[in-house]
Structure 1
Amino acid sequence: MTEILTAAQMRAIEIAAIESGEVTGLELMERAGRGVVEAIFAEWPALAEAGGAAPHEAHDGPRSPRGIEAKKKRRAVVLCGPGNNGGDGFVVARLLKERGWEVEVFLYGDAGKLPPDAKKNYERWGEMGEVTVKAIAPPPLLDDSFSIQEDFDLLVDALFGTGLGRPFSGLFAFLAEPSIQDLLRQKGVRRVAVDTPTGLCSDSGRILGTVLPSDLTVSFHREKLGHRLDSGPSESGKTVVADIGLEGWTRPPVGADGGCPAVPPGDIVTLVDGSHALLAKAGAHKFSHGHALILSGGAGKSGAARLAARGALRVGAGLVTLGVPHDAQAEVAAQITALMMCEVGDAGALAKTLNDGRLNALCLGPGLGLERARDLVPVALGAGAGARRAVVLDADALSAFAGAPDALFGMLHENCVLTPHGGEFQRLFPDLHARLEEVPTKGPAYSKVDATREAAARAGCTVLFKGADTVIAAPDGRCAIHAAVYDRGAPWLATAGAGDVLAGFITGLLARGFPCMEAAETGAWLHVECARKFGPGLIAEDLPEMLPQVFRDLGL
């Protein structure tokens, strides 16, 4: 899996590399600026034609003898901030100038106070062109001294990057106004952010004050948490990662010499990807792949459990049984074939059912009903569950304890997985949810990663906090993000029953012997992959039926 970093972790890696003597800060800055320019030309190849006209430009000039219209030079505006992100911007400006572009550079701050490497690149740019310097003290909005003389093709935001620690306001903030952004879009101006759009917290994806949205964001070495969380994907546009030669420095060594900040391995967050070696079935028989029990609600309320059960069976559980109260048995029996059914009417019946040691994974919650959940969850987690069999709690099994979450936490164990959406998370962890809802006044802002890690530690089990930016955390601090954004966007998952299928996927994987964290990660990835394979028009019933195609594509 790919690691994704906080701003502090990225700084620690850079410090470690620089203090090793293998690279200088100036070299890293040069590589970063070059990476931005290369990414721009890769995204918009037409811009790589030095001196060529932008698509929106009118050809009003005289024709050459060959009848070819004269072309205006391409123009860029580069906004440089008072730190090293601004230094990256000066490199971008210089490299564009060398390619024949006309470039205007604006510095937000005092040139004399720039960090050494940024100041060096400021001076290099000064040998090629002018810099319009703006004081740190913000002038009135739309100050007349900020003026761009002509239309331009490219706006490069190198103001703050990952270094922003307070709300973005004042000078240049007017560029974030919707009317200004609409104008830039109408004129075909491409907006590029260096590392992180200004105003976006790079650790949380939350907006600090206001934000300069971008069409392309170029991160360095690794993506940052904010590129995947909250508002990050929508404000970053397309995010690409530029290699700046730090591959050998993925993690600074703990206790590194020279005062290098250490990044504990447990603090690293990973991106869930498609590498799922455990998914393949290596022969044997159905009992080798587990037996899952999915508990159903009463008459008219069995659909959610049937969706979960179908998901568990399709994902590879050897056997799946639905535990159904008496009044829903005829309804369920008419709807299932490969699935099995047994009567589970109350806590006593569940305790008796759990005497079968072959049942190694349970799912409670989808369509269960609050009263039934309060009756059955303690049995599933306590008496008759001495083997600590895997348990997935979703939907009603979570909401049933909204008034007394500590009662639930006291029953949970390390083989449990909780799968709350935002409302269910709020009911179980109201204080953590409240922190996520607070308007951030400084960075790094409290993030969904922070909240999910704290929730997992409090519950003592794996927590999968659902959403487009799904976060999965284990009680030992391991954490992964599975974000259905960018090229993995799956808006069709916003449909009734999709979460029930996800609970079933995870339950089926647990029955097969997956550890809790891996089951949650793999289930989330498969869930989105199925939605992407099907596409528009998806309903929950379609998700399990796409698994065979997904598995074939994985070579299983």
Structure 2
Amino acid sequence: MHRELETIVVTPEEMAGIDKAAADSGIDSEALMERAGRAVAAAALRRFPGALRFVVLAGPGNNGGDGYVAARVLAEAGCAVSLYQLAPPRGRSDAGKASARFFGSVGSLTAYVPAIGDVVIDALFGAGLSRNLDPAVCDLVVRINGLALPVLAVDLPSGVDGRTGQALGAAFEAVHTVTFMCRKPGHLLMPGRSLCGELEVFDIGIPARIVLAASHHLRVNVPAVWSMSLPKAAASAHKYGHGHLAVFSGGPLATGAARLSATAGLHAGAGLVTVLSPPKAGAANAAHLTAVMLREIDGVPALDGLLADPRYSAFVLGPGFGDLDRARAYVACLRERPLVLDADGITAFRDRPEALFEAFDGGQTRLVLTPHDGEFSRLFPDIASDAALSKIDRARAAAVRSHAVIVLKGADTVIAAPDGRALINDNAPPWLATAGSGDVLSGIIGAHLAQDMPAFEAAAAGVWRHGEAARRAGPGLTAEDLVDFLKGIAEFE
């Protein structure tokens, strides 16, 4: 497989265009279906060698056509195969021709009675499904899931919207999914990702140039996307050459979040990190900081004085900050500087988000917003409430409006830039959902900005490293553990 196809994500509409472009270029579409069906059959034999019976559920479209090919190949291999169709495919279509070459028993989908020992090959609907499943199909899906029968899905588990990852009434809970050429959003966005089981991407022979021409700047977040932007340490490097990150602290009873963020920034490669503390919290911070420096900042005049020093190269504001009025005032001072805004820093602008967006309009993108869904809805209520939008659509729309890189957090974090580029992160383990982990993420991204990485790459690298540190730390981690498992940038090149 072409290396770029390993990271490309295409929507169902784009995949339909790719299929058409392949056919228009002279590629035999029947041959593509044959390869796809054979790949499904091979996965079934490899994954379920002890199956008592393979039950193929076939829809009337090309997904069903892949199922007919798989059924034929499995029968030729000596397996017990039964096929149940939702509706017959059109006779002259590729699926119709594939069905004509299958000589086993074919029953109506409503006649199938799930039985223990069956392995279900779901070839009903592919990634292009965009409407709720019919009630009879929903009922069958629920019965199969309830018996915990192993399901191998063709392209995407039936019932999962390939564009949004959402379940459309009901969806198969597959243990294995075989898709073709590249991933679709539904394979990566929740809950679709959890319904796919183990995902296998098979190259059926469409040239990479056709796939690349149809893709629109959507990728999986992997080091290959941003590694060229990572700073390289020279032999003559000194601490200021690695950037100076400043993290704003909250009051005396809310200092821990800023220290977590600052310590993460130091571990993530910033040459110097300073906690900017209100005077009343100075003693609490001083008692816990060693390599991270401390400076007291009490209001806008003091911040303006600090900003006269150009060596402060990036800022993090929000974790545990608390004072929303002061947050807005500080952001106004920082409008020309690279800034990660999280937590209370985002909430501070919920009543007038346009003030934040206008402050960072124009010039190079220098603002990174890291909201979870609740914080996102405070800044972008209309975008958040639009049920027609996928998580990718929401992040992209917000990035354009805010002139910022959006890190829309979750198990399926999406990173989006104002120019339309977007990444879906897939390396975050479930145990990363722990108190303080977002503070750590802000510090990592801040460290990257301090080292002069572009905002989109800084955010993408930060999200990936955050997930990788959690994977290495293992279940039961705390935010402090997460910081300890952050390693030098060189390991991720």
> TM tier, shorter chain?
over 0.9
- Supply the distance in 2 between the matched residues of 1:9 and 1:149 (Cα, whole angstroms): 35
Aligned mate of 1:389, from 320, 337, 340: 337
Maintained 8 Å contact 2:53/2:80: yes
Relative distance call for 1:149 and 1:521 in structure 2 (3 A) is closer
- Supply the distance in 1 between the matched residues of 2:203 and 2:333 (Cα, whole angstroms): 52
- Supply the distance in 2 between the matched residues of 1:451 and 1:335 (Cα, whole angstroms): 39
Aligned mate of 2:294, from 341, 353, 360: 341
Q: Secondary structure at the match of 2:425?
A: strand
Offset of 1:280 from its aligned partner? 4.6
Per-residue CA deviations over 1:480-538 (Å, capped at 9, x if unaligned) read 0002xxxx451221111100010000000111111111011100010011111011221
Per-residue CA deviations over 1:107-138 (Å, capped at 9, x if unaligned) read 11244x3561101001001xx2132246xxxx
Per-residue CA deviations over 1:439-477 (Å, capped at 9, x if unaligned) read xxxxxx520000000000000111110000000000000
Map 1:358-369 → 2, pairs under 5 A: 358-369=311-322
Offset of 1:249 from its aligned partner? 3.3
Report what 2:356 is aligned to.
Answer: 408
Q: How many residues align?
A: 480
Q: Secondary structure at the match of 1:547?
A: coil
**2:53 equivalent to 1:75:** yes
**2:251 equivalent to 1:273:** no
- Supply the distance in 2 between the matched residues of 1:149 and 1:395 (Cα, whole angstroms): 49
Report what 1:516 is aligned to.
Answer: 455
TM-score, length of structure 2 as denominator length: 0.93
**2:87 equivalent to 1:101:** no
**2:138 equivalent to 1:173:** yes
Report what 1:493 is aligned to.
Answer: 432
Letter in structure 2 aligned against 1:169:
D
Offset of 1:316 from its aligned partner? 0.6
Maintained 8 Å contact 2:428/2:468: no
Relative distance call for 1:154 and 1:545 in structure 2 (3 A) is same
Map 1:416-435 → 2, pairs under 5 A: 416-435=367-386
Relative distance call for 1:238 and 1:115 in structure 2 (3 A) is farther
Offset of 1:334 from its aligned partner? 1.1
TM-score, length of structure 1 as denominator length: 0.83
Q: Secondary structure at the match of 1:270?
A: strand
Report what 2:104 is aligned to.
Answer: 129
Report what 2:186 is aligned to.
Answer: 226
Maintained 8 Å contact 1:418/1:463: yes
Aligned mate of 1:379, from 333, 352, 373: 333
**2:208 equivalent to 1:248:** yes
Q: Secondary structure at the match of 2:301?
A: helix
Identity value in percent: 43
- Supply the distance in 1 between the matched residues of 2:477 and 2:210 (Cα, whole angstroms): 39
Q: Secondary structure at the match of 1:541?
A: helix
Per-residue CA deviations over 1:284-316 (Å, capped at 9, x if unaligned) read 111111111111111111111111111111111
Letter in structure 2 aligned against 1:176:
V
**2:271 equivalent to 1:318:** yes
Map 1:466-545 → 2, pairs under 5 A: 466-483=409-426, 488-545=427-484
- Supply the distance in 2 between the matched residues of 1:452 and 1:149 (Cα, whole angstroms): 41
Letter in structure 2 aligned against 1:269:
L
Relative distance call for 1:480 and 1:150 in structure 2 (3 A) is closer
Aligned mate of 1:217, from 165, 173, 177: 177
Letter in structure 2 aligned against 1:501:
V
Larger Rg: 1
- Report the more deviating stretch, 309-318 or 241-250: 241-250
Letter in structure 1 aligned against 2:259:
R
Letter in structure 1 aligned against 2:183:
E
Q: Secondary structure at the match of 1:251?
A: helix
Letter in structure 2 aligned against 1:161:
G
Report what 2:346 is aligned to.
Answer: 398
Report what 1:7 is aligned to.
Answer: 12
Offset of 1:252 from its aligned partner? 5.6
Maintained 8 Å contact 2:127/2:186: no
Maintained 8 Å contact 1:221/1:247: no
- Report the more deviating stretch, 89-98 or 368-377: 368-377
Aligned mate of 1:306, from 242, 259, 265: 259
Q: Which runs of 5+ in 2 are unaligned?
A: none
- Supply the distance in 1 between the matched residues of 2:114 and 2:128 (Cα, whole angstroms): 30
Aligned mate of 1:203, from 163, 178, 188: 163
Maintained 8 Å contact 2:22/2:210: no
- Report the more deviating stretch, 534-543 or 468-477: 534-543
Relative distance call for 1:219 and 1:115 in structure 2 (3 A) is farther
Per-residue CA deviations over 1:196-240 (Å, capped at 9, x if unaligned) read 111110011011122122111111111110111021112111211
Maintained 8 Å contact 1:81/1:158: yes
- Supply the distance in 1 between the matched residues of 2:176 and 2:46 (Cα, whole angstroms): 11
- Supply the distance in 1 between the matched residues of 2:212 and 2:23 (Cα, whole angstroms): 11
Letter in structure 2 aligned against 1:273:
V
Maintained 8 Å contact 2:265/2:273: yes
Maintained 8 Å contact 1:190/1:215: yes
- Supply the distance in 1 between the matched residues of 2:470 and 2:115 (Cα, whole angstroms): 46
Report what 1:282 is aligned to.
Answer: 234
Relative distance call for 1:408 and 1:552 in structure 2 (3 A) is closer
Offset of 1:248 from its aligned partner? 2.4
**2:85 equivalent to 1:118:** no
Q: Secondary structure at the match of 1:171?
A: helix
Per-residue CA deviations over 1:61-119 (Å, capped at 9, x if unaligned) read xxxxxxxxxxxxx31111110111110000010011011012111111244x3561101
RMSD across aligned positions (CA):
1.9
Report what 1:37 is aligned to.
Answer: 41
